[in-house]
């Protein structure tokens, strides 16, 4: 098995993790770290705006997938964490708008959490992809 780090930005390396890893074997798989509403320097964006945070977290997930020559259509599992599950569910149409046109409906887990890694973050999404 071979592993290749995928880091569109370098800020996470300072914290000791890759944004994702490509694992080569009988299939290519990508295990993505949780993506949130942060900019390219890892600074939280859109305080108190769940919808904007979901949109940016999805943008960041797409950037990580693209770094591995994959797309949302290659996602085979999602883990979603939200500080307010009801508010997240009100905005899940954003996931449908991204995954629906790709005819991709990966298995998903949504968990309510008391907080995320950085103050102000409301939503985090992690993914496993295979191609």
Give the pLDDT of residue 104.
87
Supply 121's token pair: 């973050």
Give the pLDDT of residue 117.
94
Go through the domains of the chain in sequence order and give each one's CATH number.
2-130 (3.30.1330.40)
- Given a cut of 70, the residues of the chain with pLDDT beneath it are 1, 26
H or E segment and range at residue 17: none
pTM beyond cutoff 0.75: yes
Q: Which residue has the tokens 């307010």?
A: 84
Q: 7-26 burial, b for 16+ CB within 10 Å, e for fewer?
A: bebeebeeeeebbbbbbeee
40-62 tens-digit pLDDT: 999 999 999 999 999 999 999 99
**Angle at the Cα of 53 (from 47 to 56), degrees rounded to 5?**
130
Going by their DSSP bridges, the two strands 75-82 and 123-130 should be labelled as: antiparallel
SS3 state at 124: strand
**From CA 98, how far away is CA 92, in angstroms rounded?**
10
**From CA 118, how far away is CA 123, in angstroms rounded?**
11
């Amino acid at each position: 098995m071979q592993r290749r780090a995928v880091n569109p930005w370098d800020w996470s390396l300072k914290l000791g993790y890759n944004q994702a890893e490509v694992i080569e074997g009988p299939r290519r798989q990508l295990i993505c770290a949780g993506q949130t509403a942060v900019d390219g320097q890892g600074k939280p964006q859109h305080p108190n705006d769940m919808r904007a945070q979901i949109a940016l977290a999805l943008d960041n997930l797409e950037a990580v997938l693209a770094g591995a020559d994959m797309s949302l259509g290659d996602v085979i599992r999602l883990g979603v964490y939200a500080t307010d599950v009801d508010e997240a569910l009100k905005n899940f149409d954003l996931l449908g708008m991204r995954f629906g046109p790709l005819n991709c409906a990966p298995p998903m887990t949504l968990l309510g959490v008391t907080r995320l890694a950085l103050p102000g973050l409301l939503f985090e999404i992690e993914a496993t992809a295979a191609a």
